[in-house]
Amino acid sequence: MSFVPPNFADVSKLSNDLFNKDFPIGSTKLDLKTYASNGVNFTAVGTKDNKSGQITSELQTKFTDKQRGLILTESWNTANVLGTTIEVADTLAKGLKLTLNGQLHPAVGKKSAKAGFEFKQANIFTRAYVDLFKGPTIATDAVVGNADVLFGADVNYDVTDAKVNKFNTIVAHTTRDYTISAGATNMFGLFSFSYFHRVQPGLEAGARAHWNKSTDSAVSLEVGAKYALDLDSFVKAKINNIGVLGLGYSQKLRPGVKVGFGGSFDTTRLNENAHKVGLSFTFEG
């Protein structure tokens, strides 16, 4: 079976999800997703910041026509930004997806538009997008490799200034049990390393490290783990080298209903008001 690599942003997805997902810290979030039989999906997301009390939300409608390879997404958020994305996949060529994305802020007359494509085949996944109003700039990335080893690069080029203003690279090694990745971002100013390990069924562990060459000689380190209590619930924990502990708990109450609890605790200042907690609800059906 031919292997199609992930896109550049997802090369380290397993590690990133272990540390970033299911930690509803400092906010209360409601996520509502419903699906219609005619291929229309509705999503409503609302988030309240527990400190400021500010509420932000977004409504999104997505229509999928699988026969024609067409996806139309429209959104509207509380910042009064209207968004439309049109995607056409596997129509002109197998593995090719064309994308047009536009945003409008009617209150201030601000607008943006990006056009691009994704092309994926065996052992390669490449993307390119042109920002039609800013620059214009061209953002492109590519990942090549097989099921064992991946190499990727991400470049942003300003056409007007004839200047590369972003260059990132990554290399990853994957087996059935673990994934290791190392990368450089910010024009080789920030270096990172991460690993993800399926220790046994129901238990995952990982670590990641970052070193900023330009501002700090110290290496930041974080370790984390996820443990499934049963088929409907799991706990997660992470801690970094400055003593900040993150805890998360997720419970499936019934099909389509999930609740999550999270907290961030500064273990060096347990008696101070330096901690954050949060809550999330997900309804899907």
Q: 248: exposed, middle or buried (C-beta count within 10 Å: 0-12, 13-18, 19+)?
A: buried
What stretches of the chain show up as alpha helix (H) in DSSP? 13-20
> What pLDDT is stored for residue 1 in this prediction?
55
> Could you give the CA distance from residue 153 to residue 101 in angstroms, rounded to a whole number?
23
> How does pLDDT run across 217-226, given as a tens digit for each residue?
789 999 999 9
220 phi, psi to nearest 5 deg:
-90, 135
Q: Mean pLDDT for the chain?
A: 94
- 271: pLDDT confidence band, cut at 50, 70 and 90? confident
Reply yes or no on whether the pLDDT at 81 is more than 80.
yes
What residue type is 72 in one-letter code? L
274 φ/ψ angles, rounded to the nearest 5 degrees: -125, 20
16 by DSSP, 3-state: which?
Answer: helix
CA 266 to chain centre: 25
**C-alpha to C-alpha distance for 283 and 263, rounded to whole angstroms:** 21
| 258, β-bridge pairs | 252, 282
Structural domains for the chain? 8-284 (2.40.160.10)
- Per-residue H/E/C for 19-74: HHCCCCCCEEEEEEEEECCCCEEEEEEEEEECCCCCEEEEEEEEEEECCCCEEEEE
Contact 133, 123 (CB under 8 A): no
Question: Would you place residue 14 in the very low, low, confident or very high pLDDT band (cuts 50, 70, 90)?
Answer: very high
Burial of 10 (0-12, 13-18, 19+ CB in 10 A): middle
Residue 160: the pLDDT is 86
pLDDT tens-digit map of 129-156: 999 888 789 999 999 999 999 999 999 9
Instruction: Kindly give, in sequence order, each residue whose CB lies less than 8 Å from that of residue 170, ignoring residues fewer than 6 positions away.
Output: 8, 11, 12, 150, 151, 152, 153, 181, 182, 183, 184
Counting residues of the chain whose pLDDT is more than 90, the rounded percentage is 83
